[in-house]
Amino acid sequence: MTYAIRFLLPCAVLVVVSPLAAEDRPAKEQPLDTSYLRRHAETRGFMLGRPVKPKFTPDGKAVLFLRAEARVPKLRLYEFDVATSKTKELLTPEALLKGAEEHLTPEEKARRERQRVSVGGFTDYQLSEDGRLILVPFGGKLYTYDRQKGAVKELSTGKGTLLDPKFSPDDKKIAYVLDYDVYVYDLAKDKEGRVTTGGTEMKPHGLAEFVAQEEMNRFSGYWWSPDSKSIAYQETDHDGVEVWYVADAAKPEQPPSNQFYPRPGKKNARVRLGIIPITGGKTTWVKWDTKKYEYLTRVGWWQKSLVFLVQSRLQDKLAFYQVDSETGKSVAFAHLEGIRCFGFPEGSPKRIRHGSTVLFLLPRDKSWPAHKEGLPTGTYDLYYMNDAAFRLGIVPATALEKLLDVDEKGHEVYVLAHTDPTQLHVFRVDPFQPIRHLWQRIREPVQMTRAPGIHSAVFAKDFTAHVLTSTTLDNMPRSTVHKADGKLIGELPSVAEEPPFKPNVVIEKVGDGEGYYTAVVRPRDFDAKKKYPVIVDVYGGPLHLQVVAAMRNWLLPQWLADQGFIVVSVDNRGTPGRGEDWETAIYQKFGSVPLEDQVAGLKALGKKHPEMDLKRVGIHGWSFGGYMSALAVLKRPDVYKAAVAGAPVTDWEDYDTHYTERYLGLLPESKKAYEEASLLPLAPKLERPLLLVHGTADDNVYFRHTLRLSNALFRAGKDFELLPLPGLTHMVPDPVVTQRLHSRIARFFQTHLGKPKG
């Protein structure tokens, strides 16, 4: 659960409507113009048609990228020539399908659900180290595209479900998982070979388990050795793990799908790590203290050794191990204890190309001397390991978010970091200067992006050029190609439609003390003489920022504001980008701290902006935001007068282990924290209108959550509305849905909050 959804799901059934106090009823339902909603949904928020996943060819002469048409959610493969700035189409799904339809296996659908991928076509591709071949998985098959010949070849892989293909470092082979075992395809011999044996659904080889994909941002379960002669792979033993089923009640003739789903206090999957030659044979199993360190979070290679990061179940201890690939014996070269790990940054560990240094972003360890002096801000620090030592580099005045790339020759590291939580910038920093101690403040980082907004970058192999992808409050995302000195070379062409308006949004910090970052979206025809009902667009949970300087995030809130509201967002304690104390303040306090901050931020906004009518406040959100919305009307009906809760977690004992135990602790010793966070005991207190919305096929926040809350409300004699969405998951791609459901949400709030006054 790491994000908030801006697209909601298809509607189905209305159950019960709440009676309203007379003073809360508008005189007449206002008509809605929903044409924008349809356009917004068909263009996926005006994101279709924009370049995604840019990658430089090894010689730096071209940039490959994926792009869809403006209203067709199928990605195609393109190539941008750096010298001429011209773009050509390389490959299309239609060319491979030859008139047939794309079909996904249940396993591939589940993998895309974990990765939050809702488009079709080429959702991923890989480039060989020599730049000649492009590997394209599509429709359960593997294809290679020869850039020199312009030729496409389908590989003769075995039958079954094929997942996670990867080139070998020497470009001669491709590995993948086929029906629970790892295979290798020899490109020269045009032949498939089996690497592991005995993999089953209960004990698969080479696949990341559910919590690794959903919560650790790790989607692979095997790793090529640098010499291409062996593969490290994960074996996952699901014995004893609960199996949850998702059935489509609208299609009783279809059997339910199943998933191993570990819940707090219950058994986790047992994971072990092995190394095996690609020719097959005996696996050398890696040894570590699996009782102390239950989670395998990151794996990579350093020179000829395997390195991996493991984590305790409570997530207060981390250890980095180096493995002797011959014996499987592992040596811990770093222990971090007494930490509070709130997620793992992307891009870590990262091995320097052809070098002997590995870099990591890790949760800070307060025992380091540097931290005792209070030098860094943020939650993560930059560590690196080479032949000499395992050391800590400190990037001051930034909150590190992602490790992008490492320039071995230039001795520079490129990272994403927050200057404030509403912005994300690209920085260049040199942590490799001579160090006299195990810790030392490194030189000030160089900020490469300046425009207030959200930025990221992809670099050429020799770092002579980079692609910068940026969005601001005034512009949708653009991907531009630059020389190393920042000079513009060209732009990856977009065919996206542009939004018909610019959101009328202001981001500001309000409140006493540390304060809260907030966003205020006013109607485009805003009249300062009127008092407007307020809708809080909320997420409020860890790892996600709602208040960001990105235009695309405020398009739907702008449409909602245009229906006669002021829409606001507040980022409470627990959200990232403001340091460890801020981020960890919600530990075992899901049911109190986030809501307290939401109320405080809302009141601070109301005090500053008298046009906000704080006697008429509604709240809506999805996932953790759905939980927050329901919590708001259940605990603070004095503040929130109506709520729409989408896919809410209603009892945290029914969510997965890795996320939930990270924030609420282990059961049974932390039982009080779970009880304090649960919505179910609060059901008898409902006295405000509440609309619950949930997809019945949701395999992240199961439909069980909304069913249990609706049952508790019904038994308590409370009126509410329920919108079950048959066959739909946690994601929402359907254009009709966005149009109908968002108009339904607007009418719900018009009914219960009324229209502007004055």
**Whether 544 is catalytic:** no
Written as six digits, the tokens of 36 are 């924008």
First vs last C-alpha separation in the chain? 41
**Whether 730 is catalytic:** yes
Written as six digits, the tokens of 115 are 């990765």
Q: How far apart are CA 168 and CA 128, in angstroms?
A: 8
254, with CB counted inside 10 A (0-12, 13-18, 19+), is exposed
For 756, residues 6+ apart whose C-beta sits below 8 A from its C-beta are 527, 530, 531, 532, 533, 564
Cβ 124 vs Cβ 53: under 8 Å: yes
Nearest of 584, 539, 566 to residue 749 by alpha carbon:
566
Q: How far apart are CA 743 and CA 733, in angstroms?
A: 16
| Catalytic annotation, pick one of 698, 699, 705, 710 | 698
707 C-beta neighbours (distance < 10 Å), count: 16
Cβ 240 vs Cβ 268: under 8 Å: no
Residue type, 557: P
Residue 594: strand, helix, or coil: helix
| Catalytic annotation, pick one of 418, 694, 730, 742 | 730
**Whether 365 is catalytic:** no
* Residue 718: alpha-carbon gap to chain centroid: 35
673, with CB counted inside 10 A (0-12, 13-18, 19+), is buried
3-state secondary structure 632-670: HHHHCCCCCCEEEEECCCCCHHHCCHHHHHHHHCCCCCC
- Give me the count of residues in the chain: 758
- Which segments within 266-355 are labelled E, that is strand? 270-277, 284-285, 295-302, 305-311, 317-323, 330-337, 350-351
706 C-beta neighbours (distance < 10 Å), count: 27
| Catalytic annotation, pick one of 128, 230, 494, 623 | 623
DSSP 150-164: TEEEE--PPSS-EEE
Nearest of 484, 434, 482, 475 to residue 452 by alpha carbon:
475
Nearest of 515, 564, 509, 565 to residue 537 by alpha carbon:
565
Q: Mind telling me the catalytic residues?
A: 623, 698, 730
